C-alpha cells in the first residue's frame, strides 16, 4: 500500500481497489467508504480540462457538457427547483456559489434577492460570471482563502466530486460561513438506486477522470463533521433529461436497447423530458 492510496477524507491507508477504469484505478476507503480515483490528475491536467471546450463541446464522448448552451433550459429548471427549496432554509443574505460555471444558478439566485459571490477555477467561466455583475473569486478553494464568517449560504452543485483536496476545501468553506450558515451541495451518491443497478457501468464512473471522488451518506457525513458542519437533510437528487438522452446511455450499456431507442424516435417520444431523482443526493448542512 502506498501513500497515494490514502483516503482523501480520513487520511487512512485502510483502502481496497474496487475497479479499473480505462487507465485509472478506483479505490474505496474501508473506514468511511469514500471511493476515489488514484492517482489524481495534476494541477496542469485539471486546468486543461476546465477551459472553454469543457462548457461548449459538441464532440461525442468528450469531457464536459455536450453543448452546454443547449442545456440552459434544463439547467434553469433545475436552478429554480433548488432555489425554491433553499429559500426555506435561508430566505435572504450573502451567498457564495462554488463551481459557478457560466452562472445559470447565480443569475436566478440574484432574482431571489441574495447578495451573490461566485467562484470557479476556470478563466473562461470567471469571465462569463463577471458579466453577470456579481463578485467573482477565481481559483481552487484548496489554495485561496475565503473571507471568514462572511456567507449565510454556500452552494456547491455537482462540484465536490471534482475536487482532489476536499478536506482543505471544505475547511475553507466552513470558515467562510457565519455560525448557523448553510452549505448546500449535490454530488453523485454511490448508494443511489442507479449506482446499484448499473454497478461498474454507473453514470458517475463514466465521468472519470473529471470525477475524482465518490461519496455516500457515510463518507459525506465524515467529511462535513471534520469541519464542524452538521447535516440537516439528505435527499435523492436527480436531473431533467430527454427520453432520447437516457436511451442513448442505455444503448451504451447494452445494444438490447437500440430497437427501443428507434421506436421512441419514430413515435416522437424521444424528445419528451423526464425528471429522475437518480445518481445524486442533495445535502443541506449547518455550521455549528
Of the candidate residues 6, 7, 119, 146, the single one contacting Zn ion (CB under 5 A): 7
For residue 20, CA distances in Å to 39, 166, 205, 211 come to: 12, 22, 10, 14
Beta-sheet pairing, 151-157 with 177-188: parallel
Q: Which region, judged by CB under 5 A, interacts with Zn ion, from 32-40, 111-119, 163-171, 236-244?
A: 32-40
Q: Which region, judged by CB under 5 A, interacts with Zn ion, from 3-11, 137-145, 182-190, 233-241?
A: 3-11
Q: State the number of binding residues for Zn ion (CB under 5 A).
A: 7
For residue 68, CA distances in Å to 59, 72, 100, 211 come to: 12, 7, 13, 18
Q: Does 10 bind Zn ion (CB under 5 A)?
A: yes
Of the two residues 224 and 264, which places its CB atom closer to Zn ion in the complex?
A: 224
Which one-letter DSSP state was computed for residue 3?
Answer: G
Of the candidate residues 6, 27, 28, 29, the single one contacting Zn ion (CB under 5 A): 29
- Residue indicated by cell numbers 470557479: 120
**Spatial distance between the Cα atoms of 248 and 206, rounded to a whole number of angstroms:** 14
As to burial, measured by CB atoms within 10 angstroms (0-12 exposed, 13-18 middle, 19+ buried), residue 96 is: buried
Q: Which of residues 33-52 bind Zn ion (CB under 5 A)?
A: 34
- Residue indicated by cell numbers 435527499: 235
Least distance CB 76 / Zn ion (angstroms): 36
Least distance CB 86 / Zn ion (angstroms): 29
Least distance CB 235 / Zn ion (angstroms): 23
Query: Which residue ranges make up the site for Zn ion (CB under 5 A)?
Result: 7, 9-10, 29, 31-32, 34
Amino acid at each position: 500500500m502506498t501513500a497515494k492510496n490514502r483516503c482523501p477524507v480520513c487520511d487512512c491507508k485502510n483502502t481496497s481497489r474496487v475497479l479499473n477504469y480505462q487507465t485509472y484505478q478506483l479505490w474505496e476507503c474501508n473506514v468511511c467508504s469514500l471511493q476515489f480515483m488514484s492517482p489524481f490528475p495534476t494541477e496542469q491536467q485539471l486546468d486543461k480540462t476546465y477551459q472553454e471546450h469543457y462548457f461548449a463541446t459538441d464532440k461525442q464522448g468528450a469531457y464536459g457538457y455536450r453543448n452546454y448552451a443547449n442545456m440552459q433550459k434544463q439547467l434553469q429548471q433545475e436552478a429554480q427547483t433548488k432555489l425554491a427549496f433553499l429559500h426555506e432554509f435561508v430566505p435572504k443574505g450573502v451567498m457564495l456559489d462554488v463551481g459557478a460555471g457560466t452562472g445559470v444558478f447565480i443569475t436566478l439566485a440574484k432574482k431571489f434577492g441574495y447578495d451573490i459571490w461566485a467562484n470557479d477555477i476556470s478563466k473562461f467561466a470567471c469571465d462569463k460570471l463577471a458579466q453577470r455583475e456579481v463578485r467573482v473569486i477565481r481559483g481552487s478553494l484548496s489554495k485561496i482563502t475565503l473571507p471568514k464568517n462572511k456567507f449565510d449560504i454556500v452552494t456547491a452543485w455537482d462540484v465536490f466530486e471534482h475536487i482532489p483536496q476536499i478536506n482543505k476545501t471544505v475547511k475553507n468553506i466552513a470558515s467562510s460561513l457565519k455560525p448557523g450558515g448553510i452549505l448546500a451541495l449535490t454530488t453523485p451518491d454511490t448508494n443511489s438506486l442507479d449506482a446499484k443497478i448499473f454497478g461498474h457501468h454507473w453514470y458517475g464512473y463514466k465521468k472519470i477522470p473529471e470525477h475524482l471522488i465518490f461519496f455516500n451518506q457515510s463518507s459525506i457525513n465524515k467529511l462535513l463533521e471534520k469541519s464542524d458542519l452538521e447535516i440537516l437533510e439528505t435527499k435523492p437528487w436527480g436531473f431533467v433529461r430527454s427520453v432520447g438522452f437516457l436511451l442513448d446511455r442505455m444503448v451504451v450499456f447494452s445494444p438490447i436497447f437500440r430497437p427501443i431507442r428507434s421506436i421512441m424516435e419514430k413515435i416522437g417520444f424521444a424528445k419528451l423530458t423526464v425528471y429522475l431523482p437518480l445518481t445524486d443526493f442533495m445535502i443541506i448542512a449547518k455550521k455549528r
